[in-house]
Each structure stands twice: as structure tokens, then as C-alpha cells.
Amino acid sequence: MMTDPISDMLTRIRNAVAGHKEWVDIPASKVKLGIAEVLRREGYIQRTHPLEVGKKKFIRLYLKYGPEGEQVIQKIRRVSTPGRRVYRGSEEVGTVLRGLGTYLVSTSQGILTDRECREKHLGGEVLACLY
């Protein structure tokens, strides 16, 4: 039984990027779809594609690399865990590498980036950090 599906998603992405894979399949959920949409919108992945294998649903993430094959996602890590939740207000969210990276924040309006949280004056649970 998986206790932290978001960490599993991030680990699958991290391993696929390290192996220079073209795509990675992730079991689907609403939160994972929200995270995948933010990653696409922010330019960390090319596109997403929903899959259905039997009764199971997956999200296929097509990974993005630079012109010479360099990784677009250098580091991706979980901030809030099931044993230690991390919540921040809109002013407390902060930036990653002075704005070059992104915090993924779960808010009342869905999964947003740190920049969007500051613009909309929303706080929430800081799910992950990537750059």
C-alpha cells in the first residue's frame, strides 16, 4: 500500500529524467492531474496525455529536455509529507532560486505555483519544490 502518492509521482519523474526517458506513466488522481497541469504550464514538461489500461487510469507525462539533451528539471523534491505537513501564507511562500524555480502549493483554488499564490494572495500546503 502506497502511503504518499505525490512522492511516488515525483520519484517517477525524477527517475525518468535521470534516465533521459521520453515519457513516464503515473497512476491518475485529481491532485496528480493538477500537478501535471502546473508542470506543463510552467514549461517543465511538454504535454500530458490521459491513458486507460483496463480499469486503471494513468497520466502520461512527456518530459522536456534542452537543445543539447540537458535536463529541464534539475531537482524535484517533496516539501510537505504525510508525517510533517508544511503550510504557508501567501507572503510566507517565498521563492526558489530567486524566482528561477517553483514551489507547488495546494490551495483552495487548486494547485498553484508560488508566484500565482502571491498574485492571488492565497496560502496553502507546499507540496513540492523544483528547478
* 37-55 residue pLDDT tens: 999 999 999 999 999 999 9
- CATH at residue 49: 3.30.1490.10
Instruction: Tell me how crowded residue 37 is: count the other CB atoms within 10 A of its CB.
Output: 15
Domains in the chain, number:
1
10 phi, psi to nearest 5 deg? -65, -40
Domain of 27 in residue numbering reads as 5-130
pTM of the model: 0.91
Q: For the chain, how long is the longest CA-to-CA vector? A: 45
* 14-27 residue pLDDT tens: 999 999 999 999 99
Please state, in angstroms and as integers, the Cα–Cα distance from residue 39 to each residue in 48, 50, 61, 101, following that order. Answer: 10, 15, 10, 11
